[in-house]
């Protein structure tokens, strides 16, 4: 199954420039392992970066050049021949070898190990378990495991949050998020995820600032949750 929710343009550009904070970079890399669409966009962004570097040696890029380059990122990979080749190779690989449900994305192995089953969860609230990565420069990196059919507190974000679903699913105002999907959120998004029935929703989340809860109850809960 292909992801339906992707990295936003700013994240793709920062990733390509090697400018994402470590925690965000880990989650973006995990999504890229499973998303031919975003791998194609990174490939385009790297070409844009190469062009910009060439222009830096000459004259500075004009705003409309930059806008045209950013518009390229929103084009389907089919319009970029090299990206199409990359995507179709990945598609072929996906068909031959579907992702092993127990195996975490390779980008997560240094932080959490390779196996979903072997994870040692710690309960932090009713229905919510977490594993924090060790110290991660400039942010938080954690795995969350939320019981099926749970409604999380309504919250927005003081900074950026990048979350990738590893198993299970949830729904919020932005849609349905299943395995491989990423929620690439900034401080403007107010959301209240509700996990799907059936299996727990397991996701990896990177934040660069504390979450901002809007209800008094959730605000009081926040220190306990440690977000
Ligand atoms: Zn994607």
How high is the pLDDT of residue 192? Answer: 83
Ligand 1 centroid–CA 2 distance in Å is 9
Q: For residue 124, what are its two tokens?
A: 């932090």
Mean pLDDT across 83-107: 64
- Calculate what percentage of the chain has a pLDDT beyond 70: 68
pLDDT number for residue 72: 67
What's the gap in Å between 222 CA and the centre of ligand 1? 30
pLDDT value of residue 160: 80
Banded pLDDT at 6 (limits 50, 70, 90): very high
CA of 102 to the centre of ligand 1 (A): 21
Using one digit for the tens of pLDDT, what is the confidence trace for 33-57?
999 999 999 998 888 777 766 666 6
* C-alpha 218 to ligand 1 mean position (Å): 31
Kindly report, residue by residue over 201-219, the tens digit of the pLDDT. Answer: 999 999 875 555 555 555 5
pLDDT(220) > 70: no
């Amino acid at each position: 199954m292909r992801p339906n929710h992707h990295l936003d343009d700013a994240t793709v550009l920062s990733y390509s420039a090697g400018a994402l904070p470590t925690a965000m970079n880990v989650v973006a890399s995990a999504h890229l392992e499973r998303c031919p669409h975003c791998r194609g966009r990174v490939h385009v962004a790297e070409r844009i970066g190469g062009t910009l570097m060439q222009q830096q040696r000459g004259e500075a890029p004009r705003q409309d050049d930059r806008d045209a380059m950013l518009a390229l990122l929103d084009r389907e990979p089919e319009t970029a021949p090299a990206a199409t080749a990359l995507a179709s190779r990945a598609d072929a690989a996906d068909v031959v070898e579907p992702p092993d449900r127990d195996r975490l994305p390779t980008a997560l192995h240094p932080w959490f190990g390779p196996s979903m089953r072997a994870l040692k969860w710690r309960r932090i609230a009713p229905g919510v378990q977490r594993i924090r990565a060790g110290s991660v420069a400039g942010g938080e990196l954690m795995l969350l495991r939320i019981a099926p059919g749970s409604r999380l507190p309504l919250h927005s974000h003081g900074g950026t949050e990048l979350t990738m679903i590893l198993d299970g699913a949830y729904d919020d105002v932005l849609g349905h998020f299943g395995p491989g999907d990423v929620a690439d959120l900034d401080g403007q998004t107010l959301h209240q995820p509700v996990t799907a029935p059936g299996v727990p929703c397991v996701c990896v989340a990177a934040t660069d600032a504390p979450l901002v809860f809007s209800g008094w109850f959730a605000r009081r809960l926040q220190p306990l949750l440690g977000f």
